[in-house]
Every structure is written in structure tokens, then in C-alpha cells.
Amino acid sequence: MNYPNGQKKQINQQNKSVKTNNNIFSNRGMSLEEDINTTNTYYLETDIAIIHKKPTPVQIVKVNYPRRSAAMITEGYFKQASTTDYNGLYRHRYIDFEAKETKNKTLFPLANIHDHQIRHMEKIVKHGGISFIIIRFAAYDETYFIPAEKLFPHWHDKLNGGRKSISYEKIKEEGHIIPFHYQARVNYIKIIDRLYFH
């Protein structure tokens, strides 16, 4: 699959699982995306919230037909830059967020976020929606909820020649750790309740 910058990506590439430990609260090898998808399914089935992963529009370029009844997409590219990963509704409020995983132990590189995503998140906040980023530090098996309002100053500081990352310590200070739960693996709704519906 071709990204807008012309680089190719295998369509069938599987997510790499993060390192796990024997702790009962381990993510059991699942990626952050898988954990969030599992959580969102739980929210939907228990009628807590309606949150979905946004589909990425793809332009199909080449299709092979190995047999008459089957077609295989062999080349394609993303038609436009995506916004954020997830959106939906919770308690009459629009929810919109991005999810990122890093193997770095000391910081979260801001290069993992794109300018169009920040602009999108700023518009969500301006119009009364709830926007945030979920960051997992794979080395520590820790997942953090960072409100968009806390992310914006770091982004604008970077644009003005400041730090190109957010330190792990700063994320611990400004973010909210999301404990692992069996059904709601990344139970971000509990954080939303505490921050926006107290």
C-alpha cells in the first residue's frame, strides 16, 4: 500500500505485539489498538458509549484475480490524510481521540503526531467536544490519557523551536494513568467521567 509520501506498506502486515510480563494487569501481548478496540466493543455491548475506529479511505490501484470468485488488492494508497483514530458519543458529548504506542523509555516523540491531527483536535475542543490522546509506553506497560488541552502547548512549543518531545516524567505529571481491566482493557471512560462530568 502506498502512503501519500510514496512509501509502500504491505496490506497484510500484522500489528507487532508489545512486550508482556507475568503481571495480572499485563496487556497479554495485545497492541494498544487491539486493547482499545476490545474496550470499545465492551462499551458498545454494555451500552456505555458508542466509539468506533475511523476507517481510512483507500484508493485501489491494482487488483489481481487469482480465480474467478476471488479478488486480491495488491496495490493501493491512502486517498487523504486521516484525522484521528477514534470518535463517537458518550453522555451527549462528542468524543474524538488519537492513540499512540512508543518503545521509548524516556519520552514521547512529537513526530508521532501530525499537524493536521492537532488542527482537528483544536477544532473539536473549540466546538465543545472532548479530545485527547492515549499514549502507551510499551517498555513499562503503562497507558496514559492526555487531554488535548495539555497536548497543545507542547505542540506549539515545538513549532516555535522548543522540545520535539514530551518527557515521560511530564506525561506522568500532566496525564492520567489508565489501569488495565479485563473487559475494558483501556478504560478511558473512567478518566472522562472524572475530568469532564464531575
Q: Please state the residue numbers annotated as binding site for Mg(2+).
A: 83, 85, 98, 117
Q: Are 116 and 4 in contact (CB under 8 A)?
A: no
- Residue 57, SS3 per DSSP: coil
Q: Please state the residue numbers annotated as binding site.
A: 83, 85, 98, 117
Query: One-letter amino acid identity for 114?
Result: H
Helices 148-159 & 115-126 angle (0-180, nearest 10): 140
CA distance 158 to 118: 12
Q: Are 52 and 88 in contact (CB under 8 A)?
A: yes
Report CA-CA distances (Å) from 186 to 130, 134, 182, 191: 17, 9, 9, 10
